[in-house]
Amino acid sequence: MNKIWLIIQREYTTRVSNKRFLLVTFLMPILIVGLIAASAYVSVSGIEHRKIAVIDPNGFIQSALKNSEQIEFSFPKDVDTNNYKEKGYTDVLIIPKFEGREKTEYILRSKKSMGLMLQNSITNKINNAIEDQMLQEAGIQQNVLDSIHTASQFAELKAYEDKGSSSKESNAGLAMGIGYASGFLIYLTMFIYGTMVMRGVMEEKTNRIAEVIISSVKPFELMLGKIIGIGAVGLTQFILWITLIISLTSVASNFLPADIQQQVTALQQNNGQMAAGMANASESAKQIYAMQHTFATANWPLIISCFIFYFLGGYLFYSSLFAAVGSVVNEDAQDAQSLLFPVTMPLIFSYIITNMVTQNPNTPIAFWASMIPFSSPMVMMARIAYGVPSAVSYWELALSMGILIIGFLFTTWLSGKIYRTGILLYGKKPSWKLMIQWAFKKS
Amino acid sequence: MDPILSLSHLKKYYSDQKAVDDISFDIQEGSIFGLLGPNGAGKTTLLRMITGIFYPDSGNITLDGKAFDPINDIQKIGYMPEERGLYKKMKIGEQALYLAQLKGLSKADATDKIKYWFKKFEMESWWNKKVEDLSKGMSQKLQFVTTILHEPKLIILDEPFSGLDPVNANLIKDEIFNLAKKGSTIIFSTHRMEQVEEICDQIVLVNLGKKILDGTVTDIKQQFKENIFSIQTAEAISLEENAIFSVVSTSNHTTLVKIQHGYKSNDVLAYLLKEKIEVVGYNEVLPSLNEIFIQLVEDTHSTTRAFQPL
């Protein structure tokens, strides 16, 4: 036991004190936050500006084509397809005379081709204008039409889940997001730490240090020590990431203007309404409040503890398989590739199922995939995000956890058997038949 | 005196061959023992059973008078495998400390011992270097130190001199003698015969999983001698084959003769004196271990395998 502890310590300290570990751990959250900020910045500032000359013989479309940040519409008389560039326009839009209800086309001529989103928005505007025109021709008043347009933007779905007597606000969008993020994170870490274990085993084997160590400790202890040590590295990394992300977001919120912060606090105290006598909250304060409110609907303690359980369970399940693969191959990376295939296939397949489950947490395939230990760490996390016990009942969760524990005990035992023989074997790659023989022969 | 290590009827069969097939021998405490054999003879499998890495299919290993217990007796054994390895990225001091702690030494005890040996082998400045910065010979020295650090009673060295320059090879050789003098027993596995002749008290030769030779170096040489004598003469002579001896070879002033069955070495001398040949030197030529080794191995039609047994 004491020796396993020594091995765990070595695996852990050599990796954690590595410069690359520190770099990855501290740069990753900054990179992610930076990436989000950069893409937000690009989407705001990177918009191209278009100046479109419209030739419209109908007259009623002009009012529908309102200028936006991106597009400036104008309706000059003397512009045609030949001279729009000289007149300083980027595009010219030629709308035919609409008569009757025949399908017709309008033409856009551009200096540079226009993106699909912009094209669609222009088409929608024109079609809406035509629709309105037709409604008016059918006898509906303009002011009636306007009031209908505003009304149609007012309804919003608010879903609640019933838990006994109390009901709680639920949010499918958030559940999907959490489910997808945690499933993806587990998928990613299985790969990263699994290959880390495999490389570690291969290093010991090709360096021939395995034989020195195995003359001091049992092969199983060496394998277990490595798996636990690297698992602890993974856990450390997660904890550091969570702390970093929390502190980064709290630092970021300090940059909010003071009045907005006050408004957000006021909204929190009054359940989303501004108290009487106070000024109306600004749009951004409302958005921030809505975001916080939505986040609060998720059961974070449960999600985080389940995440840690499924991360560790899945890691133990897969990493021992990765260790077994590492023990039978030599320096040849190609051998590793072909042997890894049966290990990585279920991982990739589970990830695909996870994607489906994030939208539909209660299909039969979701149920079975959250029981089978090959896929349960990812799929169950996607389901848990929808709530326990509303989407996943307690017995399902307990059963899935139990099977995962049995599963990783089994794979560790099996891999230990293959590892014990493989680690001392040099030369050609053993066949599958031989590996199965090792796994099931008596010690 | 009781042997420190005693193997009796040890067997280890793999699915496709008999790696170790009924081998027995004893090793006396404080001796330097040579385990010889061509590649693939079963040496490594045998050593792995003695170090507790493999369990024998049948047979018994007795260490220090008691049945060998792979878990608790590990501290009594220091094993330096033929294919040596160290963690390339780990600092040398930490590495030695780690390996010593795995052998059961406390951290403080291990640190003291490492300092002692590093000083002795002039490796003190290496502590914070990484193994990847060391030459092959340097890492060999480090490996030797980590093998003997915990003062094992039984030290198993598989090809300890490969890759060492003569100075470092001598350093290690002297240390092997020293350790033996202090009471450690050394098992020395190699196929470099000249080293065996120089170092080993007792040898065992294995081939194809079986023991084919066992004894002290002098005994074995006596056993395989072919009654060949070398005669050095003052002038070049040419002897004829006769009833007493046959001529093996003649070169300048030295003639090798093989004494015929039923005659003794003095009969040759008497013949030479009678022929009035001026003899300046006369001695028996014993076969080298190398010759014995090649002769025995070729007799058994061993095939050298490139791979370790499955």
Determine how β-strand A50-55 pairs with β-strand A71-74.
Answer: parallel
Give the pLDDT score at A39.
Answer: 74
Q: B150 in contact with A at a CB cutoff of 8 Å?
A: no
CB contact under 8 A, B103 and A430: no
* Cβ contact, residue pair A430, B51, below 8 Å: no
pLDDT value, residue A27: 84
Chain A residues within an 8 Å CB radius of B305: none
Which residues, 6+ apart, have CB-to-CB distance to A184 below 8 Å? Answer: A351, A354
Q: Prior bond to B70 cis, omega within 30?
A: no
Query: Which position has the higher pLDDT, A425 or B265?
Result: B265
Higher pLDDT, B30 or B83: B30
- DSSP letters spanning B109-155: HHHHHHHHHHHHTT-GGGTTSBGGGS-HHHHHHHHHHHHHTT--SEE
Continuous segment of H or E residues that includes residue A372: none
Share of chain B above pLDDT 90, in %: 8
CA–CA distance, A133 with B32 (Å, rounded to integer)? 108
Spatial neighbors of A317 by CB under 8 A, at least 6 apart, are A373, A374, A377, A404, A407, A408, A411
B16 touches chain A (CB under 8 A): no
Pairing of strands B58-63, B3-14: antiparallel
> Considering CB atoms only, which of A3, A10, A212 is closest to B81?
A212
Searching chain A, which residue's CA lies closest to the CA of residue B150? Answer: A216
Answer whether A427 sits within 8 Å of B308, measured CB to CB: yes
The yes-or-no verdict on residue A399 having pLDDT over 50 is yes
Average pLDDT over residues A79-84: 82
**Contact between residue A194 and residue A319 where contact means Cβ atoms under 8 Å apart:** yes
When CB atoms are compared, the residue of B86, B90, B102 closest to A216 is: B102
Cβ–Cβ gap B85/A212 under 8 Å:
yes
Residue of A215, A217, A218 lying closest to B51 (CB–CB): A215
| SS (HEC) of A151-210 | HCCCCCCCEEEEECCEEEEECHHHHHHHHHHHHHHHHHHHHHHHHHHHHHHHHHHHCCHH
Cβ atoms of B254 and B231 within 8 Å: the answer is yes
In this complex, the residue of A7, A208, A214 whose CB is nearest that of residue B84 is: A208
Question: Which chain A residues are within 8 Å of B87, Cβ to Cβ?
Answer: 14, 203, 207, 209
Whole-model pTM: value is 0.75
B240: distance to nearest CA of chain A, Å? Answer: 55
B64 half-sphere exposure, CB direction, 13 A CA radius: 14
Say if residue B301's pLDDT is above 50: yes
* B74 and chain A in contact, CB less than 8 A: yes
User: How many angstroms separate the CA of residue B65 from the nearest CA in chain A?
Assistant: 21
b/e A366-382 (16+ beta carbons within 10 angstroms → b): bbebbbbbbbbbbbbbb
CA-atom Rg of chain B in angstroms: 24
**Domain regions of chain B by residue span:** 3-222, 226-285
Residue B262 has pLDDT above 60, yes or no: yes
Would the CB atoms of B84 and A14 count as touching at under 8 Å? no
B189–A contact, CB cutoff 8 A:
no
Q: What are phi and psi of B91, to 5 degrees?
A: -70, 145
Superfamily the domain A50-133 falls into? Periplasmic binding protein-like II (3.40.190.10)
Per-residue pLDDT at B307 exceeds 50? no
Which helix (H) or strand (E) is A97 found in, with range?
none
Structure token pair of residue A160: 């609640």
Strands B185-190 and B202-207, by their bridges, are: unpaired
pLDDT confidence bin for A22, thresholds 50/70/90: confident
Does ipTM exceed 0.85? Answer: no
Cβ pair B310:A14 closer than 8 A = no
DSSP H helices, chain B, are: 43-50, 92-102, 107-120, 136-148, 166-181, 193-199, 217-223, 265-274, 289-299
Q: What is the CATH number of domain B3-222?
A: 3.40.50.300
- Residue A403: pLDDT band with limits 50, 70, 90: very high
Kindly report the average pLDDT of chain A as a whole number. 82
Chain A interface includes B79 (CB < 8 A): yes
* CATH of region B226-285: 3.30.70
In three-state secondary structure terms, A365 is helix
pLDDT at A347 (0 to 100): 92
Assess contact for A243 and A304: CB atoms under 8 A: no
Q: Which residues of B touch A19 (CB under 8 A)?
A: none
Q: How far is A361 from A383, CA to CA, in rounded Å? A: 5
Distance from CA of B268 to the nearest CA of A (A): 55
Residues of B in Cβ contact (< 8 Å) with A10: 90, 98
Residues of B in contact with A216 (CB under 8 A): 74, 99, 102-103
The distance of B298 to chain A (nearest Cα, Å) reads: 25
User: pLDDT: is A231 or A59 the higher one?
Assistant: A231
Residues of chain A that touch chain B, judged by Cβ-Cβ distance less than 8 Å: 3, 6-7, 10, 14, 203-204, 207-218, 424-428, 430, 434, 437, 443
Strand pairing category for B210-216 and B202-207: antiparallel
Q: What are the structure tokens assigned to B117, written together?
A: 């040996």
**A434 to chain B: which residues are within 8 Å by CB?**
310
Q: What is the pLDDT of residue A45?
A: 62
Domain boundaries, chain A: 50-133, 173-246+256-440
Q: Bigger pLDDT: A391 or A366? A: A366
Of A240, A243, A357, A235, nearest to A308 by C-alpha is A235
B89 touches chain A (CB under 8 A): yes
With an 8 Å Cβ cutoff, are B85 and A211 in contact? yes
B53 vs A6, A215, A427: nearest CB = A215
